[in-house]
Amino acid sequence: MLKEYRTVTEVVGPLMVVEGVEGVKYDELVEIELQTGEKRRGKVLEVNGSKAMVQLFEGSSGINLKGTKAKFLGRPLELGVSEDMLARIFDGMGNPNDDGPSIIAEKRVDINGEPINPVSRDYPSEFIQTGISAIDGLNTLVRGQKLPVFSGSGLPHAQLAAQIARQAQVLNSDSKFAVVFGAIGITFEEAQFFVDEFKKTGAIDKSVQFMNLASDPAIERIATPRMALTTAEYLAYEKGMHVLVILTDITNYAEALREVSAARKEVPGRRGYPGYLYTDLSTLYERAGRLKGIEGSITQIPILTMPEDDKTHPIPDLTGYITEGQIILSRELYQKGIMPPIDVLPSLSRLKDKGIGKGKTREDHADTMNQLFSAYAQGKQAKELSAILGESALSDADKKYAKFAEAFENEYVSQGFNTNRSIEETLSLGWKLLTILPTTELKRIRDEYLEKYMPKGDEA
């Protein structure tokens, strides 16, 4: 029998202390009833003797110490999952938010997930086509990978996320593809943009959306990504789907963690974030992957805005240690009107070599990728030199590299948010741009590929 306690002794920010409790466990779900009859939810953060510290999901506004009752439910926070969740929109706590009917759950699942045995993991090796050349051609996304997008305030990461959700597909696979979208602390306008975009393109039919708005309690943001990942695990591992999880904005999630940590009076780490930020972020990112013997997979694209565009800030810094690369958006390219403004040189996909080549994309993919990287890097150096010394100071080769860099940004990287390029189109475009350079400069491409794929005459 569940006990009800009227011994709430303290409320500080999103935290509440209940005394005289018995048999209470860490992470246990708590039902709080206010004097007005309103019910809220929380979870146990800490148990010390007969005292329990409870984290409130819906905030502490209006709580009266004397008239508030707390009931410990003996189970963690759970989400009812079902295939009927596809094409539906939920709030940050998993409640339907689209005027549709309630979900009849096939089962209820702990939102914290189950730990995955590393031995049972399968190595990511299948190419995912996003239709974006800067990703597919140079920083390839592989099924089961976790590849974050590092953005900045005011940059078009929302449009990029919507484009990936709309266009992503696993080539040569009969398995169903689904997108789970988790919005963490975003504005109403941004949330409406995603809903409208998904509906307009039909992507909503294969998606599940969890929306935590900026006006919702900050503490709810700790639960929202776990709701999204729990749904993804169900669709991937029990229904055999290839699931792409997009989480935006992880920075808001970390801010909510910092708020709870400050309320608990914990010793702060870098820039006031809790010392366990790395560990906590890993409980989200490590839920991506593939399992041996199971058809489905979870590929994760977390999006975070870097405060002051600082890559050394604790959130992007720690994220980079856990994930398998990063896609970085450039403010300089954005100001030039290049969309999406992906800065390919500092961007990295650590698993790209595993998802490209013969039978996956095309045999010449690795060689052209390396040559494009090299040529663009030299072209940027030539443009910088030209800005300082003038174009007349450049050699003929440097002038061609500078011309290549300009064309590369305007034709290869820049494609808008509505263009969906196949991998064949991306590779062919790369070859077309390489014709700007003398063949003698293409030292990273094998002769047989130059002979087979290099455009001749009118083709260029």
Mean predicted confidence (pLDDT) in 429-447: 95
Has residue 387 got a pLDDT over 90?
A: no
Q: What is the dihedral of CA 256, 260, 262, 268, to 10 degrees?
A: -70
Pick the CATH number of 4-75 from 3.40.50.2300, 2.40.30.20, 3.20.20.70, 3.55.40.20: 2.40.30.20
What is the value of pTM for the model shown? 0.92
pLDDT score of 75: 92
Q: Does the structure show a pLDDT above 70 at 8?
A: yes
- Cα 316 from Cα 416, distance rounded (Å): 26
3-class SS of residue 141: strand
% of the chain beyond a pLDDT of 70:
99
pLDDT at residue 333 in the model? 97
Q: Which overall architecture, per CATH, does domain 79-354 show?
A: 3-Layer(aba) Sandwich (3.40)
Binning pLDDT at 50, 70 and 90, where does residue 6 land?
Answer: very high
**Residue 303 reports pLDDT greater than 60:** yes
DSSP letter assigned to residue 20: S
| Phi and psi, residue 421, nearest 5° | -95, 135
Rounded to whole angstroms, the Cα distance separating 393 from 383 reads: 11
165 in Cβ contact with 243 (< 8 Å): no
Chain-wide mean pLDDT for the chain? Answer: 93
* pLDDT for the residue numbered 173: 74
Give percent above pLDDT 90 in the chain: 80
Q: What integer is the mean pLDDT of 151-165? A: 93
The pLDDT of residue 404 is above 90: yes
pLDDT(379) > 60? yes
Report pLDDT digits (tens) over 60-79: 888 888 889 999 999 999 99
- Residue 374 pLDDT more than 80? yes
Cα–Cα distance for residue pair 255/271, rounded to 1 Å: 11
Kindly list the domain boundaries of the chain, sorted by start residue. 4-75, 79-354, 365-459
Asked if residue 255 has pLDDT above 70, the reply is yes
Residue 457 has pLDDT above 90, yes or no: no
**Residue that wins the pLDDT comparison between 5 and 203:** 5
Distance CA 340, CA 328 (A): 10
Indicate if the pLDDT at residue 263 is higher than 90. Answer: no
42-62 average pLDDT score = 90
Q: What is the pLDDT of residue 378?
A: 96
**How confident is the model over 167-189, as a mean pLDDT?**
89
**What is the mean predicted confidence (pLDDT) over 391-400?**
88
**Does position 200 have pLDDT exceeding 90, yes or no?**
no
pLDDT score of 460: 54
* pLDDT score of 285: 96
Confidence of residue 389 (pLDDT cuts 50, 70, 90): confident
